[in-house]
Structure 1
Amino acid sequence: MITHLRHVDLAVTDYAAQLDFYTGTWGLKAEHSDSGITFLAAEGSPEQYVVRLRQAADKRIDLIAFGVASTADADALASRLAADGVRLVTEPGKLQTPGGGYGFRFFDNEGRTVEISADVAVRRHRAIEEGESVPVRLSHVVINSADPEGTRRFYEKHLGFALSDTLTHPRMGDMMWFLRVNAWHHSLAIARCPHPSLHHASFELRGLDEYMRGTGRVLRAGVEKIWGPGRHLAGNNTFSYFLDPSGNTMEYTTELELIDQDTWHPHLYDFSDPAVSDQWGTANAMNEFVAKRSFNDPDRGLFVAPPV
């Protein structure tokens, strides 16, 4: 029933610094603000917002939000989840966030809050111009999981996600699973990690030139680059990973693969092959340092519903 990824909501301890980073450096637009909370839109996206920042005492993922086609689908999905023993955070009803709509929230298997919504008003957006290096949309979210096999089963069984590809390693086994809900190669991915946390959120730019311009702008701003620029094999998308002021990994990308879901067969890619992580060979080598930077801090919000 899920149609697409809507937004990722982050609680941060350094709200002012984060807001300055996302609006002044990353290229998002603050559309709605209140005391200690801001809803950030991507100029090219019809979604009301793609990131929500909230001032908090603990750093956490507040929630990850996905869309469904109708209120009937939201009701049906909520009923099915409840019948399967999934713990609902809120019952289906009117949403009080920008754009309104109808939806509900629940905890996934590791305690992340997930929101499902329908009938959210479309934001007035615009076509991103040639050379304009601001995000078009939120491309995908990658989560760290201490039980990645269980997390994959949860999203496939309860939410209908489908596997696109898997990264594996000769010594460490399967390491990352790419899951889709539409023709985009992935909207969600799951990485093996010692603890649940945000691995990264990825933002689509208009094209290769805009992606490189954006990468250069963020570098010139002095933001710490973790990895890139390069092009992955799984998803065939470009990547430049940076750390935001809270230590969350954020990615600029473009040209994420669109697949024929009727004929697609998942690949098992050997991550020890450098061409799997970076087809171009332009990025710094993937090593233990790079991997650990994306482990992030343990999420402090598991099985605790966000206050907003």
Structure 2
Amino acid sequence: MSDSSLITHLRHIDVAMPNFAEQHRFYTELWGLTETAGDTGVSFLAAEGSPEQYVVRLREDVQKRTDLIAFGAASAADVDTLAARLAARGVRLVHEPRALDTPGGGYGVRFFDNEGRVVEVSAEVTARRHRRIEAREPVPVRLSHVLMNSPTPEATVAWYIEHLGFRLSDTMCLGERGEIMWFLRCNTFHHSFGIVRGPHAAFHHASFEMRGIDEFLRGTGRMRRLGIERLWGPGRHRAGDNSFSYFLDRAGNTVEYTTELEILDEDTWHPHLFDLRDPANADQWGTADEMDEFIAAKSHNDVDPGLFTAPPM
């Protein structure tokens, strides 16, 4: 069995922060997610169009941190195979494969990546009863992708390719400054995960797929009318060919509305290198402000204090 067959899709991103009530209100009342389970200081938030039990988990903590990134596998046997493979290669496990006590249950393993982020891979999670998102309804259909900052991006990209079987879709560069962003896939979507060159390991952004361009623009407009801090967009990227509008949540994490992310043909696709000195590579439409150091610095985020530290749940 090849490494590439073991990870099937992105499940959820779990984050912690001190201002839990503000974050909860942002993601439910403003961003458009639905709480499906919760307790004091924790909330599991689903996207209405997704069968995943939740796509974001919020947890109250005195520190702001990324708790974990979760991916799916096809079967419990694949989880076991992956865990054995990782252990044999010296990857540090947070816990061995076991039954999960999060919504939907399932069977999963947790481990640290090369920079100390916690990654979970699970299978046999009960699908959530979801619904079709209607025309003009500006709420997320699913979690599209998650990107992370890294001070050693080449090593981190290589780690995810070697150990988890991700494939490189495209890379962004900035002239003589070299490569700065790598888009990785685990299925036919252009990317479900990615790494950005940054000053420290931290959350870069999470992106949420909308039903279509009209719903994407309506969601973008709603955020702007509500006074949510806008970083960049609306526009349309070259790599992935997806639309984008970036905002800051209440903890200073970057979140994105997107739609129409490219679906690749695995048999014919070859990675491209796009130079951001050509503004059309950042925004094909030319409708977004030009990307600058101020915008980039906002998504560098704070230093993550949770590296090589397992979250409490």
Give the TM-score taking structure 1 as reference length: 1.00
Deviation, 1:272, is 1.1
Partner SS state of residue 300, structure 2:
coil
The answer to whether structure 1 residue 285 and structure 2 residue 290 are counterparts is yes
Counterpart code for 1:165: D
Corresponding residue number in structure 1 for 2:183? 178
Corresponding residue number in structure 1 for 2:305? 300
Corresponding residue number in structure 1 for 2:238? 233
Corresponding residue number in structure 1 for 2:87? 82
Deviation, 1:4, is 0.1
The answer to whether structure 1 residue 168 and structure 2 residue 186 are counterparts is no
Corresponding residue number in structure 1 for 2:3? none
Pick aligned residue for 1:153 from 127, 133, 158: 158
Counterpart code for 1:31: T
Deviation, 1:181, is 0.4
CA displacement 1:99-136 (0-9 Å, x = unmatched):
00000100000000000000000000000000000000
Counterpart code for 2:15: L
Deviation, 1:271, is 1.1
CA displacement 1:180-230 (0-9 Å, x = unmatched):
000000000100001000110000000000000000001111100000000
Partner SS state of residue 265, structure 2:
coil
Deviation, 1:169, is 1.1
Corresponding residue number in structure 2 for 1:69? 74
Corresponding residue number in structure 2 for 1:196? 201
CA displacement 1:222-270 (0-9 Å, x = unmatched):
1000000000000000000000010000000000000101110000001
Counterpart code for 2:285: W
Corresponding residue number in structure 1 for 2:17? 12
Pick aligned residue for 1:264 from 269, 275, 288: 269
The answer to whether structure 1 residue 23 and structure 2 residue 28 are counterparts is yes
| Separation in 2, partners of 1:60, 1:272 | 32
Partner SS state of residue 171, structure 1:
helix
Unpaired segments of 5 or more residues in structure 1?
A: none
Counterpart code for 1:30: E
Counterpart code for 2:237: H
Corresponding residue number in structure 2 for 1:121? 126
Partner SS state of residue 24, structure 2:
helix
Unpaired segments of 5 or more residues in structure 2?
A: 1-5
Runs of 4 or more above 6 Å deviation: none
Deviation, 1:38, is 0.2
CA displacement 1:116-162 (0-9 Å, x = unmatched):
00000000000000000000000000000011001001000000000
Deviation, 1:171, is 2.9
Give the TM-score taking structure 2 as reference length: 0.98
Corresponding residue number in structure 2 for 1:132? 137
Counterpart code for 2:239: A
Partner SS state of residue 105, structure 2:
coil
Q: How does 1:101-116 map to 2 (within 5 A)?
A: 101-116=106-121
Identity of aligned residues (%): 65
| Separation in 1, partners of 2:129, 2:225 | 31
Corresponding residue number in structure 2 for 1:39? 44
The answer to whether structure 1 residue 144 and structure 2 residue 117 are counterparts is no
The answer to whether structure 1 residue 207 and structure 2 residue 240 are counterparts is no
Q: How does 1:214-229 map to 2 (within 5 A)?
A: 214-229=219-234
Deviation, 1:172, is 1.4
Partner SS state of residue 235, structure 2:
strand
| Separation in 1, partners of 2:63, 2:176 | 35
**What is the root-mean-square deviation in Å for CA atoms of aligned residues?**
0.4
